[in-house]
Amino acid sequence: MTFARHDHCDDLDTLPRMPSRVTSGRVETLEDVAFLSGAALAHLHLVLGRDCVPQTLLRDRLALRAAEACVGFSGRPERAGELRDAVHLLRPGDLPGPAGAVCQSWQRAVERPVSIKVLGRALPTLVPGQIAAWLDAGKGAPVTRAAMVLEALVRETPRADVAGLILADAVLAQALCWDRVVPLLARGLKRADLRKQGDDLRLACHRALVSSAVEAVRLAADLARRTAHLKAVAPKLRAKGAGDAVEMLLSRDAVAPSALPLPDRAARRLCDRLVDLGAVRELTGRDTFRLYGV
């Protein structure tokens, strides 16, 4: 489903906080961890339904974090900054490289409602029939289904960690009636967890979802505050096209000035103005080839 936008947040402090029983839980059995992950996912569902949470931006930033985790699983050194560069500084016709391709896969997986076509664009090495089969492979509760798909795909398709994690998150989204993928599993799992099977993998997935859901709720609250400030200062911007530029910044993890619907010089001035107003951040620390984000 698309989350209902009926709860307006006039006071961002009213965003519900994750229950302490989830964040302080110290349990070991599969049943107890499953209870905590269910509580964490239910709370995340509640937070995602608040109209002050910028869902598109949240998914895009979670996609970056998932890509960073997947790149780490493969033993590559790229971190978030390098992944941003790999996808946002590409010239027409350029290829993103292995790490950038992982980041693009996650970005494409979250940008549209879950479907075979969308997942096929995110995972071009899999044919639609394969994707459909994987999505139907799991049975049972949401996390159990996701773990079964992850286990099956990683076991049967060598070097399929990224595809397995994207499809596992897609299965989880479908089971929870979320219309789009919310990247959660990759960030909470360890590399060794991907080789586990059966109950051991289910336990690892439940634990991963507890930690990832807690992190996602914190990120949602932070982005809600930041986007509220950006919207508050937007009327001060007089540049033609500033409104469209702000909308792009409200929906993307990072934006290069050249991607904004303004002339290059005006786009750079607008970004610097927003930094001065405390509404966006410059993400690279460089003097050139800069990227900006909420």
Range of the domain at 262: 237-293
Q: What is the pLDDT of residue 92?
A: 83
Q: Does residue 44 sit in the same domain as residue 182?
A: yes
| 36 lies in the same domain as 180 | yes
Confidence of residue 15 (pLDDT cuts 50, 70, 90): confident
Q: How far apart are alpha carbons 52 and 126 in whole angstroms?
A: 36
Domain boundary (199, 222, 245) is at 222
Establish if 95 belongs to a structural domain. yes
In a domain, 13, yes or no: no
What is the total count of domains within the chain?
2
Local confidence band at 198 (pLDDT 50, 70, 90 cut-offs) = very high
Amino acid at 290: R
Does the structure show a pLDDT above 70 at 25?
Answer: no
pLDDT tens digits for range 83-121: 999 999 988 888 899 999 999 999 999 999 999 999 999
pLDDT in tens, 117-160: 999 999 999 999 989 988 887 678 999 999 999 998 888 876 78
Q: Between these two residues, 193 and 17, which has the higher pLDDT value?
A: 193
Q: What is the pLDDT of residue 132?
A: 93
Residue 209 sits in the same domain as residue 272: no
134 and 161 together in one domain: yes
Q: Is the pLDDT of residue 81 over 60?
A: yes
Residue 7: inside a domain: no
Residues 85 and 139 in one domain: yes
Residue 165's pLDDT band, with cuts at 50, 70 and 90, is very high
Q: How distant is the alpha carbon of residue 65 from its chain centre?
A: 7
Beta strand ranges found along 190-284 (DSSP E): 281-282
283 and 184, same domain (yes or no): no
Count of alpha carbons within 13 angstroms of residue 217, beta-carbon side: 24
Name the band, by pLDDT with cuts 50, 70 and 90, for residue 274: very high
| pLDDT of amino acid 242 | 94
Clarify whether residues 122 and 245 are in a common domain. Answer: no
Q: Which two tokens stand for residue 35?
A: 């209870």
Rounded Cα distance, 200 and 184, in Å: 18
Instruction: Please indicate, yes or no, if residue 6 is contained in any of the structural domains.
Output: no
**Residue 120, CA atoms < 13 Å, CB-side half-sphere:** 10
Q: 277 in a domain, yes or no? A: yes
Burial of 206 (0-12, 13-18, 19+ CB in 10 A): buried
Whole-number pLDDT of residue 5: 47
Residue 245 sits in the same domain as residue 201: no
Residues 52 and 162 in one domain: yes
Q: Collapse the DSSP code of 293 into the 3-class scheme (helix H, G, I; strand E, B; otherwise coil) and give the result.
A: strand
Residue finishing a domain among 222, 254, 273? 222
Does 1 fall in a domain? no
The rounded mean pLDDT for the chain is 91
pLDDT value for 14: 63
Instruction: Give the separation between CA 131 and CA 163, rounded to whole angstroms.
Output: 10
DSSP, residue by residue, 15-52: SPPPPHHHHT----SHHHHHHHHHHHHHHHHHHHTBTT
What pLDDT, on the 0 to 100 scale, is given for residue 227?
Answer: 97
Distances in whole angstroms, Cα of residue 246 to Cα of each of 32, 61, 229, 249, 261: 44, 17, 12, 5, 10
CA distance 198 to 25: 23
Residue with tokens 């799992």: 189
| pTM across the whole model | 0.92
Shared-domain flag, residues 210 and 147: yes
CB atoms under 10 Å from CB of 30, counted, come to 13
